Amino acid sequence: MAMPKGAQAFPRSEYLRRLTAVKGEMERREIEVLVVTVPANITYLSGYTSKSGYVPQGLIVSLKDEEPAFITRRMDAPAAIHQMFVDRSRIFGYPEALIANPDKDGWDAIMDILIESGFENARIAVEASSLQGRTVEKFKTRSSGAPIIDFGNTISWIRGIKSDLEITAMREAAAIADAAMLKAKEVILPGAREADAAAEITATLIRGVNGIVGTDLASLYLCASPRTSTCHIPWAEDVFQLGSQVNLELAGVRHGYTSALMRTFSLGEPSDRLRRLHEGEVAGLEAALAAVKPGATCGDVATAFNTTLQKYGFKKESRCGYAMGINWTEPTASLKMGDPTILRPNMTFHLMLGNWIDEDFGYALSETFRVTETGVETFSSLPRDIFQI
Amino acid sequence: MAMPKGAQAFPRSEYLRRLTAVKGEMERREIEVLVVTVPANITYLSGYTSKSGYVPQGLIVSLKDEEPAFITRRMDAPAAIHQMFVDRSRIFGYPEALIANPDKDGWDAIMDILIESGFENARIAVEASSLQGRTVEKFKTRSSGAPIIDFGNTISWIRGIKSDLEITAMREAAAIADAAMLKAKEVILPGAREADAAAEITATLIRGVNGIVGTDLASLYLCASPRTSTCHIPWAEDVFQLGSQVNLELAGVRHGYTSALMRTFSLGEPSDRLRRLHEGEVAGLEAALAAVKPGATCGDVATAFNTTLQKYGFKKESRCGYAMGINWTEPTASLKMGDPTILRPNMTFHLMLGNWIDEDFGYALSETFRVTETGVETFSSLPRDIFQI
């Protein structure tokens, strides 16, 4: 019996619009066929979110076909039939003999199909930054024609400007993030284990809010004293203490679209140092948001933040944010001094003001936002407070 | 103030033992300095589990130093000081200017330190399969001396045989997996949302069992009708129905060490087809476990499973397991026909009998096991049943 199509996250017209943008760039660069391998880009162009990208797979976009084709491990083909908007005839499963096989692998299967489809001498592009050097070499060796072209981050840049449908998914993800942050206010308590709090927060990220579930989990970082200067430890085996501080970074996810949120918790009165930093960070956040409008640059936003924070006697070394969408960070625009990217309506960013100042002191605050026609919309509805427990 | 050392997962002697094995292999291949970049290998040699590997970082093992050095993004250095067994003087943070910078990145920082440490003309090895082609090129360009050597999967092979301390961590992870699977039996109910069940199961994986918490989350796959032929979709937005089947794959995690478990649930009476397949799979599982002993090969175990399953009229296309340890799969030995890897005491495997037979039918069953001096120890204490709800 055949696998049915699942509920689709977006209508077919939305995927065709995205493909048209990619094909336009292919035409401009005289590329006949493109092998998409960055998982977020595969999601973007097809709706596929299944986690099969740890073995070779490629979405094939060709100028002569309206729909892309997908070549994946055979056991993952049913998930592609279920999730992708494309016709089932466009999905190809390669055999299990190509897994853990040093002589011939899934990349060979992809080249086999490209050659069978008449692309042997075509101008082929790949996303080289997502591939091992030896895989790019394999594409070169097996293509007897033109050189292999690196498509770079082109699709990530196209993803940068969202449609209203994508913005809806981002707003849903943000509402889930808010619910999880509010749950954190209930479960971060002196005497509670960090893991128990993390369990409740994570469960909320999956259950979602208002009947809209989280479709996946993104990273969660709960960094409590004495670890407030760390930023990428999920949680520890400790128990919260009165006087402790907790920096929490989390995100809601809808169909891959991710909306992040950071807040700082204080178990008891915040220290004077924390209070002063918070004051400067909130002022910087407001200055940054005030600088967001179409035509301004990412650098302008960062300058507004940094200049304001400095007035309060603090500095943040790391960039103050990045483009955000499918699977968290988009590897394109940064909110950092000098970044020339011009803001356009429906670009979305994580204004990430986490500040790991000293070995014993760090702080978390962020907003995920959209550039509007005239300014900015932040997705979270939570106050920009230190959450005192 | 300085970041304190956190509670260490293993004693210093355990890390030195592991390093001695790696250095032995370096000596054999006349390698003076090794840049370790596979995250599981960094965990293995240092205790570091923080999730900073999405930007350049490297653990430097040199023959002349007892302890390795770690070069990472500056904001991640405090986590390394906290988690790694090495002295804080061995941890180097590179500046934020190297992030999202096309001209100079963290790999340059690593080469800078190697050159300053006198390794410019040394025989340097890297783990090439974890690096982009252009990163390997950068190492070559910046090293004026001997060629860059690929250390391949050498450390993963060394990881294959666990110490008793590591086995303890695997057993703890397995107990957490068992608790989560038992939670699934409570929350997978007709009318319940898949996401609500996934939330409860995930929360159990974090809370742990018997006072021992999960230190991280691994992948969770809850594939319910009509998606039982898929294997890598976390969960869907549907509600469980009477008559549905659910294939569940999950894992507990302790200090990176991961123990996986798969079981199949039936909401109501299992179909005849499911019952027959289950009978064959359980018989195959028992035959496979009976074949496990020091001196036998991975291929022998797979042959025992496949031969038995065929007697029941079924076939499994994919390999029936793989070496397991830090961060799930070890990219080394496979439980598949012909794999010549010889089993030795304290090797650990996921005997993964998930079988995605047809577009509308798949099945899940697995055991994570250890090779003992005389045979096998399975880590889970759950029955090998179809869990009927």
Q: Quickly list DSSP for A54-75.
A: TS--EEEEETT-SS-EEEEEGG
User: How far apart (Å, rounded) are the C-alpha atoms in residues A145 and A66?
Assistant: 24
User: How far apart (Å, rounded) are the C-alpha atoms in residues B337 and B304?
Assistant: 9
Residue type at position B214? G
Domain B12-158 in CATH 3.40.50.300? The answer is no
Mean pLDDT of chain B: 96
A93 and B CB contact within 8 Å? no
Which residues of chain B does A320 touch, with a Cβ-Cβ cutoff of 8 Å?
Answer: none
Of B94-103, B326-335, B356-365, minimum mean pLDDT range: B94-103
A136 and B CB contact within 8 Å? yes
Beta carbons of B335 and B319 less than 8 angstroms apart: yes
User: How far apart (Å, rounded) are the C-alpha atoms in residues A202 and A208?
Assistant: 10
A92: nearest Cα among A107, A104, A108, A109? A109
- A189 pLDDT higher than 90: yes
Residues with Cβ within 8 Å of residue A21, at least 6 apart in sequence: A158
Residues of chain B with CATH 3.40.350.10: 12-158
Beta carbons of B302 and B336 less than 8 angstroms apart: yes
Q: What is the mean pLDDT of residues B29-47?
A: 98
Beta pairing, strands A366-371 & A348-352: antiparallel
Query: How many other β-carbons are positioned within 10 Å of the β-carbon of residue B198?
Result: 28
- Alpha carbon of A216: minimum distance to chain B alpha carbons (Å): 7
Chain-centre distance for alpha carbon B14: 19
Q: Can you point out the beta strands (E) in chain A?
A: 33-36, 58-62, 69-73, 91-94, 124-126, 149-150, 221-224, 245-254, 257-266, 321-325, 328-334, 348-352, 355-358, 361-363, 366-371, 376-378, 387-388
Task: Classify residue A147 as exposed, middle or buried by CB count within 10 Å of its CB (0-12, 13-18, 19+).
Answer: exposed
pLDDT given at position A283:
98
Q: What is the mean pLDDT of residues A320-325?
A: 97
Residues of chain A with CATH 3.90.230.10: 164-388
Quick one: chain B helix, strand, coil %, rounded to 5? 35, 25, 40
Cα-Cα-Cα-Cα dihedral sign, residues B190, B192, B193, B199? negative
Mean pLDDT of chain A: 96
Residues with Cβ within 8 Å of residue B103, at least 6 apart in sequence: none
Beta carbons of A274 and A247 less than 8 angstroms apart: no
- A217 pLDDT higher than 80: yes
A235–B359 C-beta distance less than 8 A:
no
Q: Among partner residues B2, B137, B233, which is closest to A50 by beta-carbon distance?
A: B233
Beta carbons of A320 and A306 less than 8 angstroms apart: yes
For the segment A194-214, what is each residue's pLDDT rounded down to a tens digit? Answer: 999 999 999 999 999 999 999
Q: What is the mean pLDDT of residues B379-386?
A: 98
Beta pairing, strands B348-352 & B124-126: unpaired
B134 and A CB contact within 8 Å? yes
Crossing angle of helices A12-28 and A39-46, in 10° steps, is 120
- B278 pLDDT higher than 70: yes
More confident residue, A325 or B360: A325
The encoded tokens of residue A209 equal 């809010």
The encoded tokens of residue A120 equal 């042997």
B198 and A CB contact within 8 Å? yes
The CATH class for the domain spanning A164-388 reads: alpha beta
Q: What is the mean pLDDT of residues B203-213?
A: 98
SS (H, E, C) A26-50: HHHCCCCEEEECCHHHHHHHHCCCC
Q: What is the mean pLDDT of residues A257-270?
A: 98
What is residue B177's three-state secondary structure? Answer: helix
Task: Classify residue A303 as exposed, middle or buried by CB count within 10 Å of its CB (0-12, 13-18, 19+).
Answer: buried
B217 and A CB contact within 8 Å? yes
Beta pairing, strands B69-73 & B387-388: unpaired
Q: What is the mean pLDDT of residues B346-368?
A: 97
pLDDT given at position A143:
85
Q: Among partner residues B76, B131, B360, which is closest to A1 by beta-carbon distance?
A: B360
Beta carbons of B86 and B66 less than 8 angstroms apart: no
- Alpha carbon of A63: minimum distance to chain B alpha carbons (Å): 28
User: How far apart (Å, rounded) are the C-alpha atoms in residues B331 and B128?
Assistant: 14
- Alpha carbon of A43: minimum distance to chain B alpha carbons (Å): 13
- Alpha carbon of A129: minimum distance to chain B alpha carbons (Å): 6
φ and ψ at B318, to 5 degrees?
-80, 160
B317–A74 C-beta distance less than 8 A:
yes
User: How far apart (Å, rounded) are the C-alpha atoms in residues B371 and B383?
Assistant: 20
Question: Residue A345's pLDDT band (boundaries 50, 70, 90)?
Answer: very high
Q: How far is CA A210 from CA A171, A323, B325, in A?
A: 13, 27, 39
A132: nearest Cα among A106, A156, A155? A106
Q: Among partner residues A49, A198, A318, which is closest to B75 by beta-carbon distance?
A: A318
The encoded tokens of residue B337 equal 């026909």
Residues with Cβ within 8 Å of residue B371, at least 6 apart in sequence: B292, B293, B294, B343, B344, B345, B346, B347, B348, B349
pLDDT given at position A1:
67
pLDDT given at position B38:
98
Q: Which residues pair with A62 in a beta bridge?
A: A33
User: How far apart (Å, rounded) are the C-alpha atoms in residues A218 and A202?
Assistant: 10
User: How far apart (Å, rounded) are the C-alpha atoms in residues A58 and B102?
Assistant: 26
- A279 pLDDT higher than 90: yes
Q: How far is CA A6 from CA A9, A47, B96, in A?
A: 9, 10, 43
Cα-Cα-Cα-Cα dihedral sign, residues B164, B168, B170, B175? positive
- A174 pLDDT higher than 80: yes
For the segment A362-384, what is each residue's pLDDT rounded down to a tens digit? Answer: 999 999 999 999 999 999 999 99
Q: What is the number of H-type helices and E-type strands within chain A?
A: 10, 17
pLDDT given at position B298:
98
User: How far apart (Å, rounded) are the C-alpha atoms in residues B369 and B292?
Assistant: 10
- Alpha carbon of A40: minimum distance to chain B alpha carbons (Å): 15
Question: Residue B1's pLDDT band (boundaries 50, 70, 90)?
Answer: low
What is residue A268's three-state secondary structure? Answer: coil
User: How far apart (Å, rounded) are the C-alpha atoms in residues A92 and B228?
Assistant: 19
B230–A82 C-beta distance less than 8 A:
yes
For the segment B95-130, what is each residue's pLDDT rounded down to a tens digit? Answer: 998 988 888 999 999 999 999 999 988 999 999 989
Q: What is the mean pLDDT of residues A101-106?
A: 90
In the CATH scheme, what is the homologous superfamily, with its name and number, of domain A12-159?
Creatinase/prolidase N-terminal domain (3.40.350.10)
Residues of chain A with CATH 3.40.350.10: 12-159
* Contact pairs from chain A to chain B, CB under 8 Å: 199
Task: Classify residue A365 as exposed, middle or buried by CB count within 10 Å of its CB (0-12, 13-18, 19+).
Answer: buried
Query: Is this prediction's ipTM beyond 0.85?
Result: yes
A141 and B CB contact within 8 Å? no
